[in-house]
Structure 1
Amino acid sequence: MKSEKYLLRSIALELLVRIGEQGGFSHLAIDQMMKKHQLEKRDGALLTEIVYGTLQRKLTIEYFLASFVDKKKKMNNWVKWLLYLSIYQMHYLEKVPDHAIIHESVEIAKKKGHKGIANFVNGVLRTVQREGVPDFSEIKDEVHRLSISTSHPLWLVKRWVEQYGYPVTEAMCQANMTHKQMTIRVQPLKISRDELISNLEEDGFQLKKSQISDQGIIIEKGNVLKHQSFDQNLFTVQDESSMLVAELMDLTQDMVILDACSAPGGKTTHIAEKIHDNGQVYAYDLHEKKAKLVEKKAEQLGLSSIITDQSDARNLHEKHDSNTFDRILIDAPCSGLGVLKSKPDIRYNKKEDDIHHLAKIQKEILDKVSPLLKNGGKLIYSTCTVDKEENEKVISYFLGQHPEFQIDPDFFNQIPALLQNKQGVSECGMQIFPQDLNSDGFFITRMIKVEK
């Protein structure tokens, strides 16, 4: 009879082959597999650790493995990923003994392949166990060394070094290898932050208040998704950087607001909460299915001011007249290079051409949506990436094409104190790096439409 760990590693291997070779979304694939196999909490945590950890360290493990396997050796994809996940566990997980990892990996190799593959896997892993992995000091170029040691593609590290310098890039790469803290946003129309904190602390949670949002709570200990307050929709799981978007929109009640790219709805519902559900929030998304997710989220939180529909943001002038909205949020489609902590596979799936293509779309959205803003209204542009071409350069282009817009000078005064003196603040807006808040990397700026 096969052990539970054998089953876990088999599931992990299936997931890694699917995500690593076919480009599936890691968080969705893991969640589906955990439900399919009805895994216990402890087993689910180990599965998540193995899959995320192996993906996160993929380039590093490739570097390790190159010392033990001839470059000319042809391997099936599943054999490669079996070695990756095994070496990840042997090198990075202290609680699992090497002999158990090797034994289970050989058993998987026997079942999926044949005796020859099992012998190969056994030989490689026993050599790794005996000799240990190579040291990064053998890589002389510091940018290449940073790429390998933190498992970020070389083109990406080079790009960040050119844009921000080596120290910021190194800190960013290191931050992307750490676990992101869990943060939630209270639904203040249902419960106060202090009351929810009190309820959670009574049930053994360790928490602290966010300094970014007066609705935010940082969860230091405890699984808040298993708490009754989650089922009661008293809060939303949201990253602190993402919370900052609505916080910096300068909102008041009775405003008419457009969220042009709204899914999955975290910012949309935050906007509705900030205006006390008094006003109108028009929320659109390119995909109908995703627009329905926003609608569902609004219903769960009991928010009636949100009106959802499907539309390409570039076509919203067909649905709304010019000078309609008090506030517009363009949370633009982007490369997602700020969310590598929680979605490590993104780093391997993106190319520089993707950034150029996305920047073009971002400019088109701004050009098409901006006329819908009232004179004196404010347009907020945000992305969850850390690339200047999608952020500062897009804004510089837009301001050059649209003299009726300027950066809102009050925006910089409203940036939270702990971000005021960070390197990411520029004349175009604010770049939050993942190392700044132990959160996602985000760019946020706010422009005002000046009456001419």
Structure 2
Amino acid sequence: MESFKVRESIVDLLLRIEQDSGYSHLLINHEITSRKIPPKDAALMTEIIYGTVQYKLTLDYYLEPFLHTKKKIQPWVRMLLRMSVYQMQFLDRVPDRAIVHEAAEIAKHRGHKGIASFVNGVLRNMQRRGVPDIAKIDRDVKRLALETSHPEWLVKRWIDTYGWRITEDMCHANSNQKPMSVRVQPLKIFRDKAIEELDELGMKARPSEFSDQGIIIDKGNILKTRLFEQGYITIQDQSSMLVTEMLKPEPDMTVLDACSAPGGKVTHTAEKMGDKGYVAAYDLHAKKAKQIQQKAEHLGLTIIHAKPGDARKLQQQHEPESFDRILVDAPCTGLGVIRGKPDIKYNKQEDDIHQLARIQTDILEHVAPLLKKGGLLMYSTCTVDKTENEQVIETFLANHSVFELDKTFFDELPPMIKQSPGVSSVGLQLFPQTFSTDGFFLTRMKRV
């Protein structure tokens, strides 16, 4: 595929990500598959899109001194400038003159000679004068926000909650890729055998300490392997695996996963149960419930029963005290998965945190009566905010005397995690920088 066409596609995708709040990873995958883009071009496209989205605020700061026009710049022109500046500042493989030339050609093709001249002038001027130095910004919060391209309100909120050091490390970690991790289907293959097979393919793989089913992939494309294609392994972050490990599901139990899409935890649960028992899986959307069922079938699991359903209305579906285990992997702001979905940090507002905390509390309120006496209730989110995490749990426990925090949860954490900075009296907050995982909160309660 021609370089020009690849970069035109990038402009289109960046616009859709920003204007429609589309998830970058889904749009990129669809574009690559539907247009059959060759692997080399696909890799470059992915790198430029993720980088441009990841560093949007930084790129705008770099551009600001060079945009002297009083006219409003069209969104596609701004996007073209952003992606060009990203390549000039963060990538080495293409010479600056080629980036500038191609940007001007795209501007001419999509607009007219005047726009091409404007784009060419801005980029050449930047090339000559250099970008403004972020290190010279006096205010610490603003400097960190622009250096790592996070909204200032979010950086300030994290500093107020976790302190400067954790926030600084988290912001930088969100700008770096984490290694991929996968989970073996133990009813089909042992972990050691899977690692051996991956090594034979020239990949670099090692066992995870978060789960005895987990493997970390340091090098290689897992998607092209027999193991992935035939359902011997599935992609899942280590933090997500830990949730199911701490849920402690056992064969012949009845388990409820109240918010189960995309299906990683619920399929892991069925595997831990040896595919014996009953697992009820719900998601608000019928399409997602169907995808959970398809994922279960691909992995050869039979005990998962996925249906569309609102987690706040499951008392209409099940009798009180029906389940030995309940998992509430609650809908959240997703601020722990920024490194994989960088667009999230620009699409959230402080109000979203409080609104979601109310929904999370509602879900816990409504599923709690469905747990048997002596049963365990896991709560998890993929965010890093105490309002959605610790405060939700504290509110729930204050209002439900028949539930208590399960103290053995902390004893059963993997040894390497017990000393992590995210362990509190209420649960475990995994920060993305600590173990190169997603940012995740989890805790476990018991019905007495």
Matching residue of 2:245:
247
How far apart in 2 are the matches of 1:321 and 1:335? 31
State the SS of the aligned residue for 1:67.
helix
CA distance in 2, matches of 1:251, 1:413: 17
CA distance in 2, matches of 1:331, 1:71: 48
SS at match of 1:426: coil
Pairing partner for 1:131 from 129, 132, 136: 129
Q: 2:181, 2:236 within 8 Å by CA — same for their partners in 1?
A: yes
1:409 paired residue among 407, 420, 427? 407
Deviation at 1:71, TM superposition (A): 7.1
Residues 151-199 of structure 1 show CA distances to partners (whole Å, capped at 9, x for unaligned) of 0001111111111011100000000000121110000000100111111
Q: Deviations over 1:110-161 (max 9, x none)?
A: 0111111101100110111111111112211101111000000011111111
Matches of 2:258 and 2:364, distance apart in 1: 10
Which stretch of the first structure deviates more once superposed, 70-79 or 216-225? 70-79
Unmatched segments (≥5 aa) in structure 1: none
Is 1:32 aligned to residue 30 of structure 2? yes
Cα drift, residue 74 of structure 1: 1.6
SS in 2 for 1:381: strand
Q: Pick from 339, 342, 359 the counterpart of residue 341 of structure 1.
A: 339
CA distance in 1, matches of 2:31, 2:293: 27
Match of 1:445 in 2: 443
The letter of the residue matching 1:160 is: W
Deviations 1:385-404 (A, max 9, x none): 00110000000000011011
2:176 partner SS: coil
SS of the equivalent of 2:59 reads: helix
Alignment partners' CA distance in 1, 2:334 and 2:217: 24
Give yes or no for the alignment of 1:90 onto 2:88.
Answer: yes
2:281 equivalent in structure 1 = 283
Offset, 1:81: 0.4
1:158-237 alignment, distance < 5 Å:
158-237=156-235
Provide the residue aligned with 2:349 in structure 1: 351
Cα separation, 1, equivalents of 2:204 and 2:27:
30
C-alpha separation in 1, matches of 2:425 and 2:341: 30
Report the counterpart of residue 262 of structure 1 in structure 2.
260
Superposition CA RMSD, Å = 0.9
Deviation at 1:73, TM superposition (A): 4.0
Q: Secondary structure of the residue that 1:261 maps to in structure 2? A: coil
> 1-side partners of 2:230 and 2:322: how far apart?
35
Query: Shift in Å at residue 8 of structure 1?
Result: 1.1
Aligned 8 A contact 2:335 2:345 in 1:
yes
Q: Residues of 2 paired with 1:315 and 1:74: CA distance?
A: 48
Could you tell me how far apart the structure 1 residues matched to 2:252 and 2:197 are?
32
Superposition deviation, residue 37 in structure 1: 2.0
1:36, CA displacement in angstroms? 2.5
Counterpart Cα distance in 1 of 2:366 and 2:180: 36
Q: 1:229 Cα shift?
A: 1.3
Aligned counterparts of 1:147 and 1:235: Cα–Cα separation in 2: 38
State whether residues 249 and 255 of structure 2, in contact with CA within 8 Å, keep that contact through their aligned partners in structure 1.
no
1:14-39 CA distances to partner (integer Å, 9 max, x unpaired)?
10111112211111111111123211
**2:68 aligned partner:** 70
What displacement does 1:239 show?
0.4
CA deviation digits over 1:84-127, x for unaligned, max 9? 00000000001111011111100000011111110110011011
- Distance in 2 (alpha carbons) for counterparts of 1:116 and 1:36: 33
Tell me which amino acid in the other structure corresponds to 1:144: K
How much identity, in percent, do the aligned residues show? 55
User: How far did 1:310 drift?
Assistant: 1.0
TM-score normalised per structure 1: 0.98
Q: How far apart are the structure 2 equivalents of 1:225 and 1:210?
A: 19
Flag the 1:187–1:21 CA change in 2: closer, same or farther, 3 A. Answer: same
Match of 1:309 in 2: 307
Structure 2 letter corresponding to 1:360: R
Give, as a single letter, the amino acid of the residue that structure 2 aligns with 1:365: I
Match of 1:44 among 27, 42, 45: 42
The match for 1:361 is 359
**Is the contact between residue 320 and residue 371 of structure 2 (CA under 8 Å) also seen in structure 1?**
yes
